[in-house]
Chain A
Amino acid sequence: MVNWTVTVNELGPRLYRYFLGSFAPDVAEELVQEVLVRVVRGWQAGSFDASKGTLAMWAFGMAHNVRLETLRILKKEAGFIKLRDEDSIEKIEAPAFIGESPYDLKVLRKAISQLPEAERQIVLLHIDDHLSLSEISSLLDMPVGTVKSHVHRAKENLKEILGENKKEIYE
């Protein structure tokens, strides 16, 4: 049996950070809820296979799909991401984040969005400290070596983006 209260307390913040790398906080909040509900439904339907990985890994697999689905939907609605991002970033309540400015998160999100999709996916999963490189590799169906090189390349690209386009990003 799963203790769902503990699971939500553990997975909620991790999934929230994952989605914050791509979306504004209010969108991230909704997406975390969507993933958690899907996890419960899947669990009840018996779709979870413990031999293939942990519940957290399974949830991150769902989060990965939800992120792609949402990006697809948002892409169709032209300018929607920009509008949501800029509108909601101003409304972030200070207690939602600890020891940082929401403005910096917006900068990081913009920089991440400029990465190639493969690198972006890996960086977002790599932000979660609890997911190992081998777990990320099985989640994305990629060899561990490729994941490692993507992480390295993504960090180099991020540094470049933050350095060269700093003015553009902060504007």
Chain B
Amino acid sequence: MNKDKELELLLAQLRNAKPNNSQMAKWQMAVQTELGKTNAFRKPMFRWTTQMAAVLATGFILGAVTSQYFIPTQENTEPVATIQYTFSKSE
């Protein structure tokens, strides 16, 4: 047989080689499993971030509500220093 023909025939055999159905199914399964792994990793991350956001929001709301009672401001503190100053000056 002609050398060129022989080589082309051999190369054509490799070019025509096809995987069987079970191999294809195996690869599909591997890819789907890999995609599933990534999704499984993302879901808890999403849940975790949602929880953090909820906790922060609750904290801000509680902080805003309670701050007016616990953080001393000009309105909610008694002028103790002024009384003491006035008292000591009057003595």
Which residues of A approach B to under 8 Å, CB–CB? Answer: 4-5, 7-9, 12-13, 16-17, 20-21, 29, 32-33, 36-37, 40-41, 44, 93, 95-101, 104-105, 107-108, 111, 127, 129, 155, 158-159, 162-163
Contacts A104-B10, A107-B10: A40 and B3 contacting too (C-beta < 8 A)?
no
In the complex formed, the residue of A with least CB distance to B42 is A44
| Pairs A–B under 8 Å by Cβ, sample size 19 | A8-B27, A8-B31, A16-B19, A16-B23, A17-B15, A37-B34, A41-B34, A93-B20, A96-B19, A98-B17, A100-B17, A105-B13, A105-B14, A108-B14, A127-B11, A129-B15, A155-B7, A159-B6, A162-B7
Binary contact track B2-29/A, C-beta < 8 Å → 1, others 0: 0110110111011111111001101110
Determine the chain A residues whose CB is within 8 A of the CB of B15 once the complex forms: 17, 127, 129
Determine the chain B residues whose CB is within 8 A of the CB of A16 once the complex forms: 17-19, 23
Interfacial residues of chain B within 19-47, with CB under 8 A of chain A in the complex: 19-20, 23-24, 26-28, 30-32, 34-35, 38
Which residues of B approach A to under 8 Å, CB–CB? Answer: 3-4, 6-7, 9-11, 13-20, 23-24, 26-28, 30-32, 34-35, 38
Most buried by A among B4, B18, B19, B35: B19
Q: Give the complex CA separation of A115 and B28 in angstroms.
A: 34
Contacts A4-B35, A108-B11, A162-B6: A32 and B17 contacting too (C-beta < 8 A)?
no
User: Do the beta carbons of A158 and B7 come within 8 Å of each other?
Assistant: yes
Q: Give the complex CA separation of A72 and B17 in angstroms.
A: 25
Determine the chain A residues whose CB is within 8 A of the CB of B20 once the complex forms: 93, 95-96
User: Do the beta carbons of A40 and B14 come within 8 Å of each other?
Assistant: no
The number of A-B residue pairs with CB atoms under 8 Å apart is: 97
In the complex formed, the residue of A with least CB distance to B21 is A95
Contacts A8-B24, A159-B3: A40 and B18 contacting too (C-beta < 8 A)?
no
Determine the chain B residues whose CB is within 8 A of the CB of A155 once the complex forms: 7
Q: Give the complex CA separation of A158 and B30 in angstroms.
A: 36
Determine the chain B residues whose CB is within 8 A of the CB of A104 once the complex forms: 9-10, 13
User: Do the beta carbons of B4 and A159 come within 8 Å of each other?
Assistant: yes
The minimal Cβ–Cβ distance linking B65 to chain A, given in whole angstroms, is: 42
Most buried by A among B11, B17, B38: B17
